[in-house]
């Protein structure tokens, strides 16, 4: 990937034999860890060549072919650093893992031009990877504004490429905690349902036949009258995946203003936001390959909701998973 040099960098890509006959934009994304949309942008700009000939995103190539990809250096960042307190759970020379509070937007977007996690990161005075673009320094994944919990940030391009490749290969284990409406019957389960844009509401996601494959595993952690606390393994990482999948099986996340209705949307007494928390991360360190585990305990506001539910229960609920 781009290594911070002003002129960018050319990377050689050997097409895997198993990928023979596939579109080159998919091959580039799979081999490099870049998003497919960014790979397509580079290809459209003429930055992918085979024996000196520019390729199109839809071209197919044989296994073993050598491609050359030019990744331009990141443009100068024009964001103003801000002093925003962050809870850093883990940090080394390659990455840091922060515990994002609910309400904090990850990166600038229309309507959120300042006060984001990116502004807070820049305020720390640390350099970050530029692969994902100037508005997302070091960012490799995101959490919704109202979701709290763990988020990885890369300090340089090689680390960012490693994290993006791990995410694409599903080697990062992301576990969430969610309080959902109703009693989930099975103690352990797996939801496999494709997710795409809701054809009736384009600002929402939904389970749709032509959506992208999506898989969510779950385990019941604790039961309450009318509610269930789940641990959820995010096997894939589609937009709003957990919220869409749980709503699709009739157990929307408590406090969800988009996919919940009635009681589930209001949530139990004392809840004033989405009860969804990125609780645990497991990944491989970019430099030496050791296993990194990070955990962020439930924020005080969500823990208080659970304590109230426990007090209101006639019988102490059994914790079924830890």
Q: Check: CB of residue 232 under 8 Å from CB of residue 218.
A: yes
Q: Write down the residue that tokens 């990125």 correspond to.
A: 278
Cβ neighbours of 9 (radius 10 Å): 15
Give me 220's structure tokens: 């019941």
Q: In this structure, are residues 70 and 43 in contact, taking their beta carbons and an 8 Å threshold?
A: no
Q: Look up residue 59 and give its two tokens.
A: 């071209």
> What helix, strand, coil percent values describe the chain, rounded to 5?
20, 30, 50
Active site positions, annotated: 144
Quote the distance between the C-alpha of residue 290 and its chain's center: 21
Return the DSSP state at 212. Answer: B
Q: What is the three-class DSSP state of 267?
A: coil
Whole-angstrom Cα Rg for the chain: 21
Query: Which pairing describes strands 95-100 and 188-192: parallel, antiparallel, or unpaired?
Result: unpaired
Bridge-based pairing of strands 87-91 and 95-100 is antiparallel
């Amino acid at each position: 990937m781009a290594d911070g040099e002003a002129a960018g960098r050319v990377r050689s890509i050997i097409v895997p034999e198993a990928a023979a006959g596939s579109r080159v934009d998919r091959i580039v994304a799979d081999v490099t860890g870049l998003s497919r949309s960014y790979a397509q942008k580079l290809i459209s700009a003429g930055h992918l060549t085979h024996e000196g000939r520019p390729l199109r995103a839809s071209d197919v190539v044989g296994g073993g072919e050598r491609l050359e990809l030019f990744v331009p250096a990141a443009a100068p960042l024009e964001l103003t650093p801000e002093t925003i307190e962050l809870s850093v759970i883990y940090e080394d020379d390659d990455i840091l893992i922060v515990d994002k509070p609910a309400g904090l937007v990850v990166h600038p977007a229309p309507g959120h031009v300042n006060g984001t996690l990116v502004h807070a990161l820049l305020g720390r005075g640390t350099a970050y990877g530029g692969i994902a673009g100037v508005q997302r320094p070091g960012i490799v994944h995101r959490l919704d504004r109202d979701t709290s919990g763990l988020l990885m940030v890369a300090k340089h391009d090689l680390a960012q490429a490693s994290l993006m490749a791990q995410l694409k290969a599903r080697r990062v284990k992301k576990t969430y905690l969610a309080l959902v409406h109703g009693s989930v019957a099975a103690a352990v389960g797996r939801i496999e349902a494709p997710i795409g844009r809701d054809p009736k509401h384009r600002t929402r996601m939904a389970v749709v036949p032509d959506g992208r494959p999506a898989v969510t595993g779950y385990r019941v952690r604790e039961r309450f009258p009318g509610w269930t606390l789940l641990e959820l393994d995010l096997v894939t990482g589609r937009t709003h995946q957990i919220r869409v999948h749980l709503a699709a099986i009739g157990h929307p996340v408590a406090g969800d203003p988009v996919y919940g209705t009635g009681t589930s949307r209001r949530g139990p007494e004392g809840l004033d936001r989405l009860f969804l928390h990125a609780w645990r991360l497991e990944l491989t360190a970019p430099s030496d390959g050791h296993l990194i585990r990070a955990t962020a305990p439930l924020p005080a506001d969500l823990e208080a909701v659970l304590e109230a539910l426990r007090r209101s229960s006639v019988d102490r609920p059994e914790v079924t998973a830890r």
